[in-house]
Amino acid sequence: MKNLLHFIVRFHFTILFVIIEIFCMLLLVSYNNYQKTEFLNSSNAFTGNIYEKVSSTTDYLALAETNEELNKENTRLKNILGESYKMSADSSVFYNDTLYQQQYIYRTAKIINNSVNKQLNYITLNKGSLNGIRSEMAVVTDRGVVGVVKSVSKNFSTAISLLNSRISVSAKIKKNNYFGSLTWDGLDYKSARLYEIPVHVAIQVGDTIVSSGYSSIFPEGLLLGTIQEVLPSSGGNFHEIIVAFSNDFRSISYVKVIGDLMKEERLELEKGELE
């Protein structure tokens, strides 16, 4: 308090001058329409800029939460879209008034660890068995396939990334349905190789590569990438094709884990055929 009084006594002329100036400005603005209008416009612009900066900062800080909410909404929509269902009865016959039966269920997850510079790359997700995650479920984004769930604990799970030479995906050329095997060659995190496409099949750079649906893990039609290069044939019966991944594995944050509700039935039936 003593210091405050000392400050006032020392600068009382300056303080008085400032008070008079403010009072004069208020009188000027209050009794002159032009000055009043200019003042209000200026103050609105000033406060508007402040609010815009605050809003931008708040929005930036909330990006992670916003992305997670969008991912959840996309997953909810995936679960109710027709592509998650299969027809369970002939179109002219209705059983219990149910024509379609859900086959795929989507769950959201966030990547909390990811590697791209090893020969055997894995990703770690922040969801586990308590969230319905099981081994051998497909991991995807809206841009395409990411990998396959391998190990699961209560709250976490790990997945084999497509950047892993131990995983192969049954893939097909979208325009003609010729299928082969997509495998990472361990060289470039941006691309993989598509094998077993016969040389007589007409292909070109830019053709879309999708999942064939022949495995019990990946639904049909999930984007894998596009043909980047067709290498000169070495005289064999198959093309040598380089496919550019649709996903950038260095920038993936949120994924969807796909569960096939009819997987066990399918595997049991196929197992019986092999015996």
Which residues are within 8 A (CB) of 196 and not within 5 positions of it... i.e. 6 or more apart?
179, 180, 181, 238
Neighbour tally for 138: CB within 10 Å: 26
Q: How far apart are CA 40 and CA 50, in angstroms?
A: 15
* All structural domains of the chain with their residue ranges: 2-60, 73-165+252-274, 168-245
Q: How far apart are CA 3 and CA 214, in angstroms?
A: 83
Q: What is the pTM of this model?
A: 0.65
Looking at 2.115.10.20, 2.40.110.10, 2.40.10.350, 1.10.3080.10, the CATH number of the domain 168-245 comes to 2.40.10.350
Instruction: For CA atoms 268, 260, 167, 210, give the dihedral sign.
Output: positive
The answer to whether 206 touches 227, Cβ cutoff 8 Å, is yes
Instruction: Output the tens digit of pLDDT for each of the chain's 275 residues.
Output: 667 677 777 776 787 777 887 777 776 656 666 555 555 545 544 544 554 555 456 555 556 666 665 666 666 665 655 455 444 333 333 333 344 567 888 999 999 999 999 999 999 999 999 999 999 999 999 899 999 999 999 999 999 999 999 999 999 999 999 999 999 999 999 999 999 999 999 999 999 999 999 988 999 999 999 999 998 776 678 998 999 999 999 999 899 999 988 888 877 887 776 65
Q: How far apart are CA 69 and CA 64, in angstroms?
A: 9
- Tokens representing residue 211 in the block: 């999942």
**The domains spanning 73-165+252-274 and 168-245 adopt the same CATH topology:** yes
Q: How far apart are CA 215 and CA 171, in angstroms?
A: 10
What b/e readout covers 191-205, taking b as 16+ CB neighbours within 10 angstroms? bbbbeebeeeeebee
- Tokens representing residue 27 in the block: 């009188």
Q: What fold, for 73-165+252-274?
A: Thrombin, subunit H (2.40.10)
